[in-house]
Amino acid sequence: MRRLMMLLLAIAFVTASAQEVICHRGYWDADGSAQNSIRSLVKADSIGAWGSEFDVWMTADGVLVVNHDATFEGVTIETAKWKQLKDKRLKNGEPLPTLEQMLECGKGLKTRLIVEMKPHTSREQELEAARKIVKMVKKMGLEDRVEYITFSLQGMKNLKELAPDGTPVYYLNGELSPLQLAEFGMAGIDYSIKVMREHPQWIDEAHSLGMKVNVWTVNSDRDMEWCINYGVDYITTNAPEKLQHKLLP
């Protein structure tokens, strides 16, 4: 009985202590890198980051483009045609990447691919984006390496329905409790550090429901230490190497 207790405690410790680093928009604060670039994904992988996050929009003619903002150099992605964007370049000189190029690169890496689907103005277009993203991930054979995140509540439900069972889908917007999200079958919460400092009880609530907690964008020493001490599972950051150092045993 005592041995069993010790074993259970050891398992609980290992489970509780597994805290992982996710690079926010890839590891972009590095030589030759840029936000949401292919290079930023390669850099994230090269430092052994658990995951690398990037943002996805769909053009009016159905091309999935990796970019944070709704616009790129004045062109609104969701209403543009791909030909208006295809020759544009990122700050590091790389061409503006498509999701296909990003996933193609990801195939050769180990880091998990954290795909953020941006909320589109048109619900139909957003549903189409979700369909195309899930289809492309399948085609690339990356279903076991991808997790989805989104600020769109409908988008979250769409991704949950379209992706294979067990694919983690997280909600970013911050207004729903873990219990409310559990009803939709979500993997957990992925909320800002500001929201989490206002609702620290959501960490235990999520864990007691078997859900995970991801917090963004955690850059300062103070915020990193708060997340580590509160047992946050995934910490999304612009300073991945600093965070890795703090997580060293």
Residues 143-202 that bind Mg ion (CB under 5 A): none
> How far apart are alpha carbons 33 and 228 in whole angstroms?
27
Residues 46-75 that bind Mg ion (CB under 5 A): 55
Q: How many residues does the chain have?
A: 249
Residues 104-133 that bind Mg ion (CB under 5 A): 116
> How far apart are alpha carbons 43 and 27 in whole angstroms?
6
- Number of neighbours of residue 34 by Cβ within 10 angstroms: 19
Provide the minimum distance between the beta carbon of 169 and Mg ion in the complex, in angstroms, as a whole number.
15
Provide the minimum distance between the beta carbon of 116 and Mg ion in the complex, in angstroms, as a whole number.
4
Would you say 217 or 244 has its CB closer to Mg ion? Answer: 217
Nearest 5°: the CA angle 74, 35, 86 is 45
Rounded to whole angstroms, what are the CA distances from 161 to 90, 134, 171, 174? Answer: 33, 10, 14, 21
Would you say 121 or 201 has its CB closer to Mg ion? Answer: 121
Would you say 26 or 178 has its CB closer to Mg ion? Answer: 26
Rounded to whole angstroms, what are the CA distances from 25 to 35, 40, 97, 108? Answer: 5, 7, 13, 19
Provide the minimum distance between the beta carbon of 78 and Mg ion in the complex, in angstroms, as a whole number.
16
Would you say 20 or 116 has its CB closer to Mg ion? Answer: 116
Placement of tokens 């409908």 in the chain: 154
Residue nearest to Mg ion (CB): 116
Number of residues that bind Mg ion (CB under 5 A): 2
Provide the minimum distance between the beta carbon of 22 and Mg ion in the complex, in angstroms, as a whole number.
10
Would you say 29 or 116 has its CB closer to Mg ion? Answer: 116
Would you say 151 or 184 has its CB closer to Mg ion? Answer: 151
Q: Is 16 exposed, middle or buried (0-12, 13-18, 19+ CB in 10 A)?
A: exposed
C-alpha torsion sign, points 147, 42, 192, 132: negative
Which residues are near Mg ion by CB under 5 A? 55, 116
